[in-house]
């Protein structure tokens, strides 16, 4: 094999073309790396979401750029290729449609990686803190992150695929028409499922209730066991499981979000002194608040509203105590027990029903 007479010029042209391709690839990879690093700051996942995409982008851009600049550089140096067919037409197609296809593929890959990085950062931000609900916030962030990532993947891959088919001179009009008809049919047939999923997405996004909460959904109370995109699952005190599609949730009352109250009403006879009864209630609450077993569960001092209602034979006193979520019943039962004990010690008895009968004696005639 004999070298061409102008091999020094060809070598220099090839070296300059490859150097140019390397510089361009390095700049594009640095830009991609800086964007991904700004999106996600977790060093533990840099290799997966930052470093690996940078290397892939750099390699692909280098190959594309080299394929685009090497042939013209060699031709300028006096080298003539011997391809079958028309090499100029092949080169024009590669630099025109072929280059656009590669750019579309790289852009789609970069968008998917950026979406994955953004979802990962969202999960990390939601998982920060040491509160009681950090586990549930993490689960909520993971659910939303995966949903958004899957939706982004379907959208980006679909658009990129159609654009690549168009660059390959494939008529995509029948595909779009067929996809529209199929989508319309699926939309009519699965509109209930779509409604449930959308409602579930906002239910999770707005943090209306979480696993472990006590909630009343459409009038049915129970412990929340699952919060899915399509359904919410409750288990009542008898162990019965109730499943509600998210799209059919009309009312939702959360009894254990952030904090809870235990409300107490107590009947006092009209002949008794309400102040004496309220003093006994305060003493019972003070002993409970000083108990180290219950003090961590109480968030605020005992509140007494006073006489709240008048009924037949009794006045109703109303009070409440603020607790951490799901501890209101435990604290309330203990408070009632201590109140009963103090009432017994001080001779405070619940009102008993009585009937007053007045007889009018008629005058003798």
Q: What is the pLDDT of residues 116-138, one digit of tens each?
A: 777 777 777 766 655 556 666 66
Q: What is the pLDDT of residues 196-207, one digit of tens each?
A: 888 888 887 777
| Topology given in CATH for the domain delimited by 208-254 | SH3 type barrels. (2.30.30)
Domain 260-345 part of CATH 3.30.70.250? no
Q: What is the mean pLDDT of residues 68-90?
A: 60
Rounded CA separation 298/276 (Å): 24
Query: Are domains 208-254 and 260-345 of this chain identical in fold?
Result: no
Q: What is the CA radius of gyration of the chain?
A: 37
More confident call, 259 vs 78: 259
Q: What is the DSSP string of 120-180?
A: HHHHHHHT-S-STTHHHHHHHHHHHHHHHHHHHHHHHHHHHHHHHHHHTT---HHHHHHHH
More confident call, 188 vs 249: 249
Q: What is the mean pLDDT of residues 318-335?
A: 89
Q: What is the pLDDT of residues 280-303, one digit of tens each?
A: 999 999 999 999 999 988 988 899
Token pair in block for residue 282: 């305060």
Domain boundaries, the chain: 7-170, 208-254, 260-345
Exposed, middle or buried: residue 214 (CB in 10 Å: 0-12, 13-18, 19+)?
Answer: buried
Q: Which spans in 168-243 are helix H?
A: 173-189, 191-205
Comparing 38-52, 136-150, 310-324, 345-359, which segment has the lowest mean pLDDT? Answer: 38-52
Q: Give the pLDDT score at 140.
A: 67
Q: Give the pLDDT score at 217.
A: 92
More confident call, 104 vs 68: 104
Residue 10 has pLDDT above 70, yes or no: no
Straight-line distance from the first to the last Cα atom of the chain, in angstroms, rounded to the nearest whole number: 155
Q: What is the pLDDT of residues 224-272, one digit of tens each?
A: 888 887 888 999 888 899 999 988 888 898 888 778 889 988 888 887 8
Token pair in block for residue 6: 């102008």
Q: Is the dihedral of CA 122, 123, 124, 130 positive or negative?
A: positive
Rounded CA separation 351/267 (Å): 7
Confidence of residue 83 (pLDDT cuts 50, 70, 90): very low
Rounded CA separation 250/216 (Å): 11
Q: What is the mean pLDDT of residues 23-29?
A: 80
Nearest residue to 24 via CA among 52, 60, 51 = 60
Nearest residue to 18 via CA among 59, 60, 67 = 67
């Amino acid at each position: 094999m004999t070298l061409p007479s102008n091999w020094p010029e060809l070598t220099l042209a090839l070296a300059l073309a490859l150097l140019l391709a390397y510089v361009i690839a390095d700049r594009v990879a640095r830009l991609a790396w800086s964007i991904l690093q700004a999106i996600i700051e977790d060093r533990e996942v840099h290799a997966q979401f930052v470093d690996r995409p940078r290397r892939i982008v750099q390699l692909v851009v280098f190959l594309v750029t080299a394929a685009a600049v090497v042939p013209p550089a060699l031709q300028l140096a006096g080298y003539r290729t011997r391809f079958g067919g028309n090499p100029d037409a092949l080169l024009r197609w590669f630099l025109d449609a072929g280059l656009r296809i590669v750019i579309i593929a790289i852009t789609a890959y970069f968008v998917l990686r950026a979406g994955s990085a953004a979802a990962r950062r969202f999960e990390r931000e939601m998982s920060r803190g040491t509160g009681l609900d950090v586990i549930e916030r993490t689960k909520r962030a993971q659910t939303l992150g995966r949903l958004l990532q899957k939706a982004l993947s379907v959208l980006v891959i679909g658009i990129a695929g159609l654009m690549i088919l168009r660059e390959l001179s494939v008529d995509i009009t029948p595909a779009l028409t067929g996809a529209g008809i199929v989508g319309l049919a699926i939309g009519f047939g699965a509109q209930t499922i779509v409604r449930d999923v959308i409602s579930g997405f906002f239910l999770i996004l707005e943090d209306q209730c979480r696993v472990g909460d006590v909630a009343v959904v459409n009038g049915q109370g129970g412990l929340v066991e699952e919060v899915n995109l399509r359904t919410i699952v409750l288990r009542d005190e008898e162990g019965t499981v109730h499943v509600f599609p998210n799209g059919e949730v009309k009312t939702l009352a959360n009894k254990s979000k952030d904090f809870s109250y235990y409300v107490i009403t107590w009947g006092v006879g009209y002949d008794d002194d309400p102040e004496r009864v309220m003093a006994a209630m305060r003493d019972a609450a003070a002993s409970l608040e000083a108990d180290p077993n219950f003090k961590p569960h109480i968030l605020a001092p005992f509140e007494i509203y006073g006489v709240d209602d008048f009924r037949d034979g009794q006045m109703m006193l109303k009070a409440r105590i603020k607790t951490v979520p799901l501890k209101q019943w435990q604290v309330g039962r203990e408070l009632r027990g201590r109140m009963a004990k103090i009432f017994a010690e001080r001779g405070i008895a619940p009102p008993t029903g009585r009937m007053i009968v007045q007889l009018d004696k008629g005058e003798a005639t």
